[in-house]
Chain A
């Protein structure tokens, strides 16, 4: 009974439903095999493809828990990807050429994440210190961010040939694709921060009742600032994956619409969009659920556009189930 009331119950049931559907109707869906020292199969593919959205949803969970939202993650992904691409390829006339990292992968990642961090400070400053509504404050970077990324790449897709960096997106370690490892590392760090330190409690307190949290001595401004910074750094990390995967920085398309997927994953995972209690496990589950749905639709040969319509339906249904007004109506009808 207790598990049924858990936030994870319905998304988990939906995921099991999709898997059951595939078990019966898609032959070989559960087949996983070892090839060239790497695991292959639909299940691995789902998690691998979901990795960027899962990484985004970690940060988005914290932002939404404080009652905010970050629309700029897709653009930040593009910026981080552009920075990494430019540092490796060093295209002519690029302002980043002043910084020579000599192709060192850790340095490239560090610079890309640092630029993402600055984006996060910008968002966080607007939201927490200037008290601009989160939707609008982050809309700003969503509009201008892609312009900045294109400025860095001069509107071109900056391609590079660096097997070590490309391995971030397409390689594997211990048979598991690297994007999954990146996600696991990020998830452990965020999990520790949110559940083993007081920080998670602060985030929930600020989202639940900013006034009460201030009276209990929490610096709500700093908490809000940090969630946007964390979210942006994670977005930077997520942006490196597709960039490494296609061996090029595509400022136009990297992370396009992913902010919506991340918000969706968080909403499905049971974190209230009004802020307050959050569930990181739920958001991860939400991201996997959406990717399973997409993969299932694609393997069944249904056109990809239907996923967009389905996503819309899922958003509305999930939001309705979370809404007290809808629950009250539903309960009344059942009682009658």
Chain B
């Protein structure tokens, strides 16, 4: 029993408890909340947030931050739509182009941060401006996508019992989630990310390729947000340059609520998944209630974020005390 409830695991245990508590409380209060369909909607409606959050998890694990993800979703969304609709590119080719664009922009962030030691928040802030400006420059109006291949793609789904089904966006979310968990826990790249977040100089002294990994971390986040943009276009069958506004905050909130330490080095991709679920449940519960206005979502997310930050602080302080007692 002791092995499960270690101090480092406290954030993720707290997250799981909050997740379950919200689910049960909302389920008891609102009729139909417990249904499979509602649960699947958590995944479908928040697939783009979830995919973004997986990328952001790696950035935060390494001790950095990526503020550009929200506008990236808008930018890649409108780009996909315009490439297909106005430039008559095949959807598969358009999606590939857009994903490459996200990867390259993320790479650019990584290069500036790594080569010139610029603060990540500043570089990705510039990325936020750039992507939003580029998206609006491409098209200010939202563009509807009407293409047989794209419709077929949007129609892919796995049927489940009780008439429920798992649409393509939710499938992609789950695939990215599993890939993220494997990447973080089972690969050299993942271990290096944790090492950088724990202590960058020690990671360097251990002979890990810190520089290359840091660039790849931001490239990965860029790729994930571009994919999120594509998923958003599939979800809405249209591209809009203004979509994803403020998404960077939701993604960071999901990661922090999911128990990843903001100073880096400790956390998990699965935790971020729980964080996304919590945000989704709050949103859905407020929708179910009907009498509460939507801005309560923001206040609820902010309050949860505060609680989890205080919890993290408490763990840090008590860890410091323990290590002092041990004579370090």
Which of A146-154, A169-177, A201-209 faces chain B?
A: A146-154
Report if A37 contacts B (CB, 8 A).
no
Q: Are A311 and B129 in contact (CB under 8 A)?
A: yes
Whether the Cβ atoms of A316 and B302 lie closer than 8 Å is no
User: Interface 1/0s, chain B 125-137, versus A by CB < 8 A?
Assistant: 1111110111011
Answer yes or no: B305 CB below 8 A from chain A CBs.
yes
Contact (Cβ within 8 A) A312 B130: yes
Which chain B positions have C-beta within 8 A of A310?
133
Assess whether B125 is in contact with A136, with CB atoms less than 8 Å apart. Answer: no
Q: How far is the CA of A305 from the CA of B294 in the complex (A)?
A: 29
Q: Which residue of B lies closest to A146 (CB)?
A: B298
B162 at the interface (CB under 8 A from A): no
Q: Are A143 and B295 in contact (CB under 8 A)?
A: no
Stretch in B15-23, B112-120, B224-232 touching the partner: B112-120
Are B128 and A260 neighbours in the complex by a CB distance under 8 Å? Answer: yes
Taking a contact as CB atoms under 8 Å apart, the answer to whether B301 and A306 are in contact is no
A323-B122 CB under 8 A given contacts A308-B132, A308-B133, A312-B129: no
The yes or no answer to A336 lying at the interface (CB within 8 A) is no
Which of B117, B136, B256, B295 lies in contact with A325, CB distance below 8 A? B117
Known: A133-B263, A267-B122. A139 touches B252 (CB 8 A): yes
Chain B residues contacting A312 (CB-CB under 8 Å) are: 126-130, 133
A311-322 vs B, Cβ < 8 Å mask (1 yes, 0 no)? 111011001100
Task: Decide yes or no: A147 and B296 within 8 Å by CB, A132-B313, A133-B263 being known contacts.
Answer: yes
Q: Does B303 contact A (CB under 8 A)?
A: yes
Is B309 in contact with A140, judged by CB distance below 8 angstroms? yes
Which residues of the other chain, B, contact A139 by a CB distance below 8 angstroms?
249, 252, 305
A9 at the B interface (CB under 8 A): no
Q: Count the A residues whose beta carbon is within 8 Å of the partner chain — how many?
A: 46
A320→B133 contact, CB < 8 A: no
**Do A315 and B121 contact each other (CB < 8 Å), given the known contacts A130-B310, A144-B303?**
no
Residues in chain B near residue A148, CB distance under 8 A: 299
Count of B residues near A, CB < 8 Å? Answer: 43
Does residue B65 face the partner (Cβ distance < 8 Å to A)? yes
* Chain B residue at smallest Cβ distance from A122: B306
- For the complex, give the distance between the alpha carbons of A130 and B127 in Å: 30
Q: In the complex the two chains form, what is the Cα distance from A155 to B140 in whole Å?
A: 25
Question: Is A303 on the interface with B (CB-CB < 8 A)?
Answer: yes
B6 at the interface (CB under 8 A from A): no
A158 to nearest B CB, angstroms? 14
Residues of B within 8 A of A263 (CB): 122, 125
Most chain A CB atoms below 10 A, which of B117, B122, B294: B122
A144, A273, A320, A325: the one within 8 Å of B301 (CB): A144
Contact assessment for B137 and A303 in the assembled complex, using a CB-CB cutoff below 8 Å: yes
Name A311's closest neighbour in chain B (CB-CB).
Answer: B129
| Distance in Å: Cβ of B94 to nearest Cβ of chain A | 21
When the two chains form the complex, which single residue of B129, B262, B297, B302 contacts A308, counting CB atoms closer than 8 Å? Answer: B129
Nearest Cβ in chain B — how far from A67, in angstroms?
11
Q: How far is the CA of A133 from the CA of B64 in the complex (A)?
A: 12
- Determine if A320 and B130 form an interchain contact, defined as CB atoms under 8 angstroms apart: no
Q: Which 7 A-B pairs have the closest CB atoms?
A: A144-B302, A308-B133, A147-B298, A312-B130, A309-B133, A312-B129, A150-B295
Could you list 16 examples of A-B contacts with CB < 8 Å?
A130-B309, A139-B252, A142-B249, A143-B298, A144-B298, A144-B299, A144-B305, A260-B125, A305-B136, A306-B133, A308-B136, A310-B133, A311-B129, A312-B128, A312-B129, A315-B125
* Chain A interface (Cβ < 8 Å from any Cβ of B): 69, 126, 130-133, 135-137, 139-148, 150-151, 154-155, 260, 263, 267, 273-274, 303, 305-313, 315-316, 319-320, 323-326
